Structure 1
Amino acid sequence: MRIKAKLTIGVGLLFLMILLLALISGRYVYQLKADTANILKANYNTLEYGRNMLLALEDVGTDTTALVAFGRNLQDQQKNVTEPGEKETTLRIADHFTQLQKNTAEEGLKSFIRKDISELMRLNMEAIEHKSELATTTSENAILVISVVGTLCFIVAFVLLINLPSSIANPIKQLTSSIRQIANQNYNQRVHFDKANEFGELAQSFNVMAEKLQEYSDSKIDKILKGKKRIETLINNMHDAVIGINEKRKVLFANDEALILTGLKREDLVGKNIQDVAIQNDLVRLIAQAILQPGTAGDSTPPIKIYADQKESYFEKEIVDINITPTGEDEPQFIGQVIILKNITPFKELDIAKTNFIATVSHELKTPIASIKMGLQLLGNAQVGVLNDEQQSLVNGISEDAGRLLKITGELLNLTQVESGMIQMTMMPTPVYEIAQYALRATKAAADQKQVTIETIFAADLPVVMADGEKAAWVLTNLLSNAIRYTKDSDPIELSIQQKDQQIVFSVRDRGPGIAPEFLEKIFDRYFRMPNEKTEGTGLGLTICKEFIEAQGGVLSVSSEPGLGSCFSFTLNITGAKQA
């Protein structure tokens, strides 16, 4: 039977039983009410009239109103005749009362009247007893019928309470459990309902769905396995070392290149926690350093040097977080990481070769350029010979070109130190004023040529700094030269030296065109030059300045506002000693 039919029959039958119970109860209550009303209306009133007539009869002869009262109650009684024999008795009372009205002193009439009234009251008392028995019988029948019908209603309701919820809830519970199994990809789950109702149809549809899902899953497993095999083959054939871990830092896979680099067997790495392997293997610890030490993942790390392929090799480490968004959710979920070691040895070798080449060429060029400068100085000496104006102009041009070549070679030599990481610093206590005076003397000629005034703001009693005086002076000279180059003729330049905490701050402020905000972060990049730059330069000066200052424990920074000029500042640490 279908669930809808069960519910309709069960609830409908219970409704009919309750309605029948209500009708039967109402009928018996109405009957009891009628019996009670009949007793009150007929028999009780007759007893009341008889009592009043007896009282009035006693006062006849002494009270003139007694006959009137007797006659009034007699008339009411004549209208209330309901029981057998009551009419005859009432007529006898009426005849005797008529005779009494004629002779009120006749005691025999009063005696007859009393007997007749007593008979009248006896008849009504018997009627009351009979009606009371009928009412009792009616109430007993009512109790019996209502009890039977109520019991039937209770049985029907109890049967519905026991069977109906379970017949609905149990299949739903079983179906819910099966749906959870399907959600967990257990497509072998089936639901079996023997009853031919809505749940049976639902179970049939569910089983068809599960079967189709199983067929779909089985058809995809082969594709998934093939896809997995392709990915594993691709990873194993990569020239870069690849290690994959899950969210619990357990190694899921490692390609052959990673095993060769680490010197580990696959079973010693795959399936192990990477922190456990890192304890026993220095290279794994170096590779997974950003994972094992939180807070270093975003740091810029130098290439890793590993002895591989019978030589020192360089590898660049990259850590990729794997996040997925589960179906039905909005927030991504972290499921692991992939560590990639890119072999940059060929690029590093080319970079080293380029650096060595630049260093060699620059070093070799310095000697002939210096000779050219010396020859030009001799040509400018009047003792060698007097040059005409055209010759002097040529000599001046050659001297300027030789100076530029000498500056470029010097910057290239400094750059090779920076790139090779072999910046040689001679750190010693250095007076701040010596650094400033050296830079001012070196740039005086260029400032005078453009009629630029260098305004100095030096704090009093500045302490000594711990620095390489030569390179610090070179940096300050470079900053002043740039300021002179970009400053209009006759505009001032400000050189400020102040103490801030345990550092000395050197600041060079110009009133040139300034630097656009989008170029501020690139201004220290190697070979970078501003777009539409018309002044001479290699784009190496600021890069070398930054490396020299940072090698001395300081910081080089810039602030600028287009159209209002720029301010370059660098810091040097003080030694704690006061300058004499």
Structure 2
Amino acid sequence: MKFSIRWKIFAAFILLTAAMGGVLYAYLVPILERHLVVDLSEHLFSQAGIAALAVNRESGELNRYAPRLAAEIGRQSKARVTIIAPDGRVAGDSEVPPEKLADLENHKDRPEVIQALQQGRGSSIRYSTTLRSEMLYVAAPINLGGTGTGTIRLALPLNSVDQLKLKLHSTLAVAILIAALIALALSSILSQLVYRPMRQISQLAAEIGSGNLSRRIQIRRDDEFGGLARVMNDMAERLQEQIHSLATERNRLDAILRCMGEGVMVTDNEGIMTLANPAFCALFDVQEEIPGRPLMEISRHPGLHDSFRACLQKKSEHIQEITIEIPAEKIVLTHWVPLLDGDRVSGVVAVFHDITELKRLEKIRKDFVANVSHELRTPVTVIRGYAETLLGGLLAEDPERSQQFLSVILNHSERLTALISDLLSLSEMESGNFNLKLGPVALVTTIRHAAELLEMGSNEKGVALKLGEIPERTTVLADQRRIEQVFFNLLDNGIKYTPAGGEVNIGVASSGADVTISISDTGPGIPLQSLPRIFERFYRVDTARSRELGGTGLGLAIVKHIVQLHGGSISVDSPPGKGAIFRVTLKKP
């Protein structure tokens, strides 16, 4: 059974009160009993002195008046009175008839008689064979004139003393009991006074333990409890400030982790996940709760676990690039850092950088550099070769052939000019400094002008340009010159890849706030695997044929950038063997 501190304090007071009462009772009883006997003896001595004076006043023979006088004094003093002659014979006794006095023993050798004759007073406690009980005897000498010195003795049975002692015990016990009850009442009040601040401090500690740090103790004391209450209040306030600071810091860290584009995870030294941010969950396509799950359950990629073990073993940073396929293939740069607790590794922090796009852009950059180098090297090499031949004397030796060489040099220089112009246009568009002069543009006029520029070339090749029904008032929000460049490039592309006898069709459809322009051809089409890359710079479905047709490989890339700068979109479909269809969607003014 569990007792509160209040009951323990109260029980301590009860035990202390009981112990003090017991000690006090044990100490006072014998003292008071001795004082009772002494007081009773003194009282008997006083009465014996008075009785001696009464005997001294008597005259005549002792045997005549002693029985009467002993009886009278006995009635007055309520004690047994014995008058003893100088020779020890009993002359009178208040408890013995005169005719039986001769049967009593000689009292000359009684201790109290001897002491009275020698010291003037005597007393003793002993058993009386006459009365058959313990008696208290006191004796005093009496002057009998010429016959000598006798003794008067007063006796009181101790059973009366025992009754007085019993009353004394009862009175003392009642007094101690009353004092104990008063002490217990005061103890209860005192224990309550002591317990109340302790209970308040205990409740405050319990509420602090449960997380309620706003509770405070009202301090109205200047003793130790008041000091303890102040300490508890200060501690609660400091804890509240620290927890608020920690919560703020944790919220800040949570916000940082949630906003990070890189995946972050924390594990213990057994590989059990303790923290992961949303970017990590998205990277590994994890929907369930991560904390508490083993790393092995998240991903079974061998490189991931090799990096984890390497970081634990080396107790140092570890960087490794891995490729995962969750759900699509991704290239991830992992950075592992051990959490050290002295010399012991308590866990690992890992940061995952998704560098798939960087790798793709790096590949595009490398392809771009290789393509530009190749596209520049071919015409430069041709121009250089023909120029060296002309400088070698061919110009004077064979003027007709020299003209052919000069024509080739001119064609390749024009190709270089077109390539450089397209590269500058792309660079300008991608730099963010490309300005468009937007305004309402009539589609029918713009498309017809682009078709007219290409009509001669299409007629020579035998490809028909067919313009569908376009309402005269159909307009789009665009830059006149740039949007015409889009249509020109798409029509030129369709004519180049459509064989003789084929056709290039142009259609316009309006829907809500958008206008969609479709340009289709009847050429060989675009292979399915090439469709995602068709708008990349220098990408060619058929490299040899594209160069033969004189393209730079940048036309569709320029078209895509111009359309996107207008806030529109472009897409391509190519049913197998049925040519290609390019769709450009632009906004109405």
Same-fold status (TM-score > 0.5): no
Return the TM-score normalized by structure 1.
0.36
Q: Which has the larger radius of gyration?
A: 2
Which protein has the bigger strand share? 2
